[in-house]
């Protein structure tokens, strides 16, 4: 009898008779986890976590485990198609790669000639490690317009991180923080870029004290030392209140503040506008709890903040990020082991260089859509989506004629879905690369079959800021699918960008790695490469900011014409900012909480994952449900000033009775009609994308905090 051993590759091979195994790097979310892929008869047979990977230590999430169900799904697109009927008619015809790419190339050249390269918008959804090739082709084309989720997801952390302290500060679980403040986030079931749940969990097992800021009672909130159950959208005010306590009780790191920060005096003045008494009124959090959390965070060293996207999809987006960084900074936790580290990536051609931002001519840069309005976003090549919809629908400030969307489903994931749908219907030509014919792809002219992570070679976590890169090794070829990188490499050569691209994409990987003196073939033999590990780097050269200091007062924002100090803005729609509307829509609607198994709009086709969540669910407090005559399991109509949708009621005490929490990104691949039910439960039929509701610097749409009313779907005649 052999000894039991975790992740016993040799024994698995013997017992199950697998032919081989490949160590690779999963990308069912943004990427991150090392995996072992077992192969039998040329097919993926089993997927497990790689115990040698420093990111996940052998553990793996639901999505990673179910990757083979994605790769081999019968509905998957495995060859290029062109639409042969009207939009959303569901009539498609198989075409060759040459016909598909030549058609797209011809359109690009035609629109470039007639309307300028800015009339062609490339885009991707959330980060899927294809961003560098997409920016590269756009920049060499001369189009300043790449449509991403960067205005309200991760982009704000990058932009505000760079202007505050040179990069995005990453919670350092490796060195076991003694205190973790989890803010609007649940890393145990979500995927906030650099982070995985396992290292967070290990840090708690090593005794870290936990503070959770969340309107919802998550399991981390239930386990926390202090749970701050704030009014949704008031994160900025709460952070200011905590800063007030830390500064006025002298709990900040005086040496750090004195030597390494910029703008301390005006910063204190701003913070002093937010004493805990006032913050309690704004946030609903008792002032004693604000003090308790602030003291615990400031006096336990090292401490880290686990942050994520929730604070960014708000009107106060950029300032929320800056306020959390201020908390990290003035407590001396920046670049401290077990605090918030400014990691160094390995010495490779980085994402910015590969993206060829320097190749975009200045006059084309000046044409970036929304560039005058959302000036911080624009500086970092990020667009506000409404600017694109307006340019398509109203041709202002100039017409956008073509979209090329890679792994993006904006009909489901961008605010004001009706407007998005109208724009995608109207745009003259649209190409999409994706796994399935999604509600967005159904509107395209040509759809290209994208490879999953199992079907590509790539440098995993190339774009992340945790300091690692890991080889993603191709395991199988499925149909005619190609990686997004190969697709764009091929397309670029067809529009005259040959000199900037490669005969095969493997050469691009060699190019990325060349500063280290290695090739892709060398890297494939390695487990990972890590950048230099060093703490307190600012003590030698300062921070990579204009003042070389940690900028509590941002000189960059000042130059761009914004308030240089972080502050608090009410959500664009709330009991406070729109009291009249609140009378008709008496609940605060929060959206977008993550679900195990799904990644935004993805994976609802996969049986192993869909069985975890059959229907979209809206969570309601029992008191509110009783008032509205809603029972557990009822279909509920949720209505905002923009529209109405249906989701199923789950009654729970874990929310304030004034709050309703609905799920996002729901469509129904099992509905075979081309719309796939995109209008049934799509939260973005309720969200608002008015420019005035956005964060002024980043253009973040406020999709997390709205007002709504709820009612049972059954007719009035039904007895509850």
Partner 1 sequence: MKRYALIIEEYACWGCRACEVACQQEFNPIEATNGVKYLSVWPDGPRLMNGKLDFIWRVNVCRHCDDPACMNACPAEAITKRRDGIVVLESDKCTGCQLCMDECPYQAIHYDAQRKTAAKCNLCYHRVDQGLYPACADNVCLAHCIYFGDPSDIEQKIIEKRKRRGGWGDILPKELRISRE
7 sits near partner 1 (criterion: CB under 8 A) = yes
Distance of closest approach, residue 328 Cβ to partner 1, in angstroms? 23
Residues 71-90 that bind partner 1 (CB under 8 A): 72, 74
Residues 24-63 that bind partner 1 (CB under 8 A): 44, 46-49, 51, 56-62
Q: What are phi and psi of 39, to 5 degrees?
A: -125, 135
338 sits near partner 1 (criterion: CB under 8 A) = no
- Answer yes or no: are the C-beta atoms of 156 and 184 closer than 8 Å: no
Task: Say which residues have a Cβ less than 8 Å from residue 207's Cβ, sequence separation at least 6.
Answer: 176, 178
Interface map 611-630 toward partner 1 (x if CB under 8 A): xx------------------
Of 40, 69, 87, 713, the residue at the interface with partner 1 (CB under 8 A) is 69
Distance of closest approach, residue 655 Cβ to partner 1, in angstroms? 9
> Nearest to residue 455, comparing CAs of 15, 1, 22, 159?
22
Q: Which residue number, 366 or 653, has a Cβ lying nearer to partner 1?
A: 653
717 sits near partner 1 (criterion: CB under 8 A) = no
Distance of closest approach, residue 63 Cβ to partner 1, in angstroms? 8
Of 125, 232, 597, 699, the residue at the interface with partner 1 (CB under 8 A) is 597
Of 22, 97, 174, 201, the residue at the interface with partner 1 (CB under 8 A) is 201
Cα(612)–Cα(599) distance, integer angstroms:
13
Residues 369-408 that bind partner 1 (CB under 8 A): none
284 sits near partner 1 (criterion: CB under 8 A) = no
Distance of closest approach, residue 70 Cβ to partner 1, in angstroms? 10
> Got the DSSP string for 236-277?
HHHHHHHHHHHHHTT-S-HHHHHHHEE-HHHHHHHHTT--HH
Site stretch for partner 1 (CB under 8 A), options 6-14, 130-138, 273-281, 681-689? 6-14
What b/e sequence results for 183-202 when a residue is b if at least 16 CB atoms lie within 10 Å of its CB, and e otherwise?
bbbbbbbbbbbbbbbbbbee
Q: Which residue number, 9 or 581, has a Cβ lying nearer to partner 1?
A: 9
596 sits near partner 1 (criterion: CB under 8 A) = yes
Tokens encoding 213: 């800021």
Tokens encoding 526: 């390695």
Cα(302)–Cα(336) distance, integer angstroms:
7
Site stretch for partner 1 (CB under 8 A), options 204-212, 555-563, 584-592, 628-636? 204-212
Angle at CA 481, nearest 5°, toward 475 and 486?
85
Residues 210-229 that bind partner 1 (CB under 8 A): 217-222
Site stretch for partner 1 (CB under 8 A), options 120-128, 341-349, 649-657, 709-717? 649-657
Cα(146)–Cα(15) distance, integer angstroms:
49
Q: In what helix (H) or strand (E) does residue 65 lie, and over which residues does it extend?
A: helix 62-65
CB hemisphere CA count around 577 (13 angstroms): 16
Q: Which residue number, 642 or 655, has a Cβ lying nearer to partner 1?
A: 655
Distance of closest approach, residue 447 Cβ to partner 1, in angstroms? 24
Q: Which residue number, 495 or 660, has a Cβ lying nearer to partner 1?
A: 660
Distance of closest approach, residue 198 Cβ to partner 1, in angstroms? 4
Provide the H-helix boundaries in 495-615: 505-513, 520-524, 538-541, 555-559, 579-584, 607-610
Cα(344)–Cα(5) distance, integer angstroms:
34
Site stretch for partner 1 (CB under 8 A), options 138-146, 200-208, 400-408, 543-551? 200-208
Of 172, 198, 486, 656, the residue at the interface with partner 1 (CB under 8 A) is 198
Q: What are phi and psi of 637, to 5 degrees?
A: -90, 125
Cα(536)–Cα(523) distance, integer angstroms:
30
Of 128, 136, 196, 322, the residue at the interface with partner 1 (CB under 8 A) is 196
- Answer yes or no: are the C-beta atoms of 454 and 475 closer than 8 Å: yes
Q: Which is it for strands 226-228 and 261-262: parallel, antiparallel or unpaired? A: unpaired
Interface map 550-589 toward partner 1 (x if CB under 8 A): ----------------------------------------
- Answer yes or no: are the C-beta atoms of 273 and 282 closer than 8 Å: no
Cα 631 to Cα 11, 383, 636, 662, 720: the distances in Å are: 51, 42, 9, 16, 7
607 sits near partner 1 (criterion: CB under 8 A) = yes
204 sits near partner 1 (criterion: CB under 8 A) = yes
Distance of closest approach, residue 619 Cβ to partner 1, in angstroms? 11
> Nearest to residue 382, comparing CAs of 155, 535, 658, 572?
155
Of 145, 188, 261, 413, the residue at the interface with partner 1 (CB under 8 A) is 188
Q: Which residue number, 304 or 369, has a Cβ lying nearer to partner 1?
A: 304
Distance of closest approach, residue 611 Cβ to partner 1, in angstroms? 7
65 sits near partner 1 (criterion: CB under 8 A) = yes
Residues 504-533 that bind partner 1 (CB under 8 A): none
Helix (H, G, I), strand (E, B) or coil at 529: strand
Cα(676)–Cα(395) distance, integer angstroms:
29
Task: Say which residues have a Cβ less than 8 Å from residue 228's Cβ, sequence separation at least 6.
Answer: 211, 212, 213, 214, 238, 283, 285, 289, 290, 293
Q: In what helix (H) or strand (E) does residue 227 lie, and over which residues does it extend?
A: strand 226-228
11 sits near partner 1 (criterion: CB under 8 A) = yes
202 sits near partner 1 (criterion: CB under 8 A) = yes
191 sits near partner 1 (criterion: CB under 8 A) = no
Distance of closest approach, residue 331 Cβ to partner 1, in angstroms? 21
Q: Which residue number, 124 or 176, has a Cβ lying nearer to partner 1?
A: 176
Site stretch for partner 1 (CB under 8 A), options 337-345, 363-371, 581-589, 648-656? 648-656
- Answer yes or no: are the C-beta atoms of 379 and 499 closer than 8 Å: no
Distance of closest approach, residue 654 Cβ to partner 1, in angstroms? 4
Q: Which residue number, 6 or 715, has a Cβ lying nearer to partner 1?
A: 6
651 sits near partner 1 (criterion: CB under 8 A) = no
What b/e sequence results for 611-629 when a residue is b if at least 16 CB atoms lie within 10 Å of its CB, and e otherwise?
eebeebbbbbbeebbeebe
182 sits near partner 1 (criterion: CB under 8 A) = no
Q: How many residues bind partner 1 (CB under 8 A)?
A: 57
Looking at the chain, the number of H-run helices and the number of E-run strands are 28, 27
Task: Say which residues have a Cβ less than 8 Å from residue 663's Cβ, sequence separation at least 6.
Answer: 591, 592, 593, 595, 616, 617, 618, 647, 681, 683
Cα(115)–Cα(655) distance, integer angstroms:
51
Site stretch for partner 1 (CB under 8 A), options 241-249, 536-544, 555-563, 607-615? 607-615
Q: Which residue number, 295 or 714, has a Cβ lying nearer to partner 1?
A: 295
Of 85, 86, 207, 498, the residue at the interface with partner 1 (CB under 8 A) is 207
499 sits near partner 1 (criterion: CB under 8 A) = no
Summarize as ranges the residues that interact with partner 1 (CB under 8 A). Answer: 1-4, 6-8, 11-12, 15, 44, 46-49, 51, 56-62, 65-66, 68-69, 72, 74, 188-189, 196-198, 201-202, 204-207, 209, 217-222, 596-597, 607-609, 611-612, 652-654
């Amino acid at each position: 009898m052999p000894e039991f051993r975790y992740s016993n590759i040799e024994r698995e091979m013997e017992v199950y008779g697998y032919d081989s195994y490949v160590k690779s790097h999963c990308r069912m979310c943004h990427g991150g986890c090392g995996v072992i892929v077992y192969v039998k008869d040329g097919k993926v047979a089993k997927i497990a976590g790689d115990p040698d990977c420093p990111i996940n230590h052998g553990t793996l999430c639901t999505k990673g485990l179910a990757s083979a169900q994605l790769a081999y799904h019968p509905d998957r697109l495995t060859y290029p198609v062109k639409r042969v009927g009207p939009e959303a008619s569901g009539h498609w015809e198989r075409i060759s790669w040459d016909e598909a790419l030549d058609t797209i190339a011809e359109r690009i050249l035609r629109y470039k000639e007639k309307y300028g390269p800015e009339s062609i918008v490339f885009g991707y959804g959330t980060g899927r490690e294809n961003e560098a090739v997409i920016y590269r082709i756009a920049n060499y084309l001369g189009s300043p317009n790449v449509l991403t989720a960067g205005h309200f997801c991760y982009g704000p952390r990058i932009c505000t991180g760079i202007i505050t302290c040179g990069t995005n500060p990453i919670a350092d679980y490796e060195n076991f923080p003694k205190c973790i403040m989890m803010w609007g986030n649940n890393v145990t079931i979500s995927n906030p870029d650099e982070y995985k749940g396992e290292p967070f969990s290990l840090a708690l097992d090593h005794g870290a004290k936990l503070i959770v800021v969340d309107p919802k009672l998550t399991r981390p909130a239930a386990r926390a030392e202090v749970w701050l159950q704030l009014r949704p959208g008031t994160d900025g005010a709460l952070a200011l209140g905590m800063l007030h306590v830390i500064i006025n009780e002298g709990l900040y790191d005086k040496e750090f503040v004195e030597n390494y920060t910029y703008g301390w005096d005006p910063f204190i003045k701003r913070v002093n506008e937010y004493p805990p008494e006032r913050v309690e009124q704004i946030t609903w959090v008792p002032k004693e709890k604000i003090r308790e959390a602030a003291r615990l965070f400031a006096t336990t060293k090292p401490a880290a903040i686990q942050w994520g996207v929730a604070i960014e999809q708000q009107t106060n987006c950029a300032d929320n990020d800056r306020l959390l960084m201020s908390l990290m900074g003035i407590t001396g936790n920046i670049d401290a082991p077990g605090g918030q580290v400014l990691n160094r990536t390995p010495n490779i051609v980085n994402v910015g260089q590969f993206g060829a931002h320097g190749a975009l001519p200045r006059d084309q840069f000046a044409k970036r859509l929304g560039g005058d309005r959302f000036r911080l976003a624009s500086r970092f090549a990020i667009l506000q989506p409404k600017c694109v919809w307006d340019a398509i629908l109203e041709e202002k400030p100039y017409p956008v004629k073509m979209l090329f969307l890679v792994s993006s489903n904006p009909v489901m994931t961008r605010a004001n879905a009706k407007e998005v749908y109208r724009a995608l219907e109207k745009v003259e030509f649209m190409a999409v690369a994706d796994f399935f014919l999604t509600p967005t792809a159904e509107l395209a002219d040509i759809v290209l079959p994208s490879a999953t992570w199992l079907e590509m070679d790539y440098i995993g976590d190339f774009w992340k800021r945790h300091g690692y890169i890991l080889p993603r090794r191709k395991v199988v070829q499925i149909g005619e699918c190609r990686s997004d990188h190969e697709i764009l490499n091929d397309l670029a050569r067809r529009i005259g960008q040959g000199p900037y691209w490669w005969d095969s994409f493997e050469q691009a990987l060699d190019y990325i790695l060349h500063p280290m003196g290695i090739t892709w073939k060398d890297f494939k033999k390695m487990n990972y490469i890590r950048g230099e590990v060093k703490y307190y780097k600012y003590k030698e050269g300062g921070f990579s900011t204009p003042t070389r200091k940690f900028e509590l007062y941002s000189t960059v924002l000042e130059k761009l014409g914004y308030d240089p100090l972080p502050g608090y803005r009410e959500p664009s729609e709330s009991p406070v900012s729109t009291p009249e509307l609140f009378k008709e829509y008496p609940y605060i609607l929060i959206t977008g909480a993550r679900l195990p198994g799904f990644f935004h709009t993805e994976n609802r086709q996969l049986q192993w994952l869909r069985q975890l969540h059959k229907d979209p669910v809206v969570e309601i407090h029992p008191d509110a449900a009783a008032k509205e005559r809603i029972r557990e399991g009822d279909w509920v109509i949720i209505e905002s000033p923009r529209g109405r949708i249906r989701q199923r009621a789950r009654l729970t005490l874990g929310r304030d009775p004034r709050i309703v929490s609905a799920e996002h990104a729901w469509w129904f691949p099992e509905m075979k009609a081309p719309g796939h039910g995109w209008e049934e439960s799509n939260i973005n039929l309720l969200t608002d994308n008015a420019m005035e509701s956005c964060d002024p610097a980043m253009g973040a749409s406020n999709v997390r905090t709205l007002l709504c009313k709820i009612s049972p779907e059954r007719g009035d005649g039904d007895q509850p």
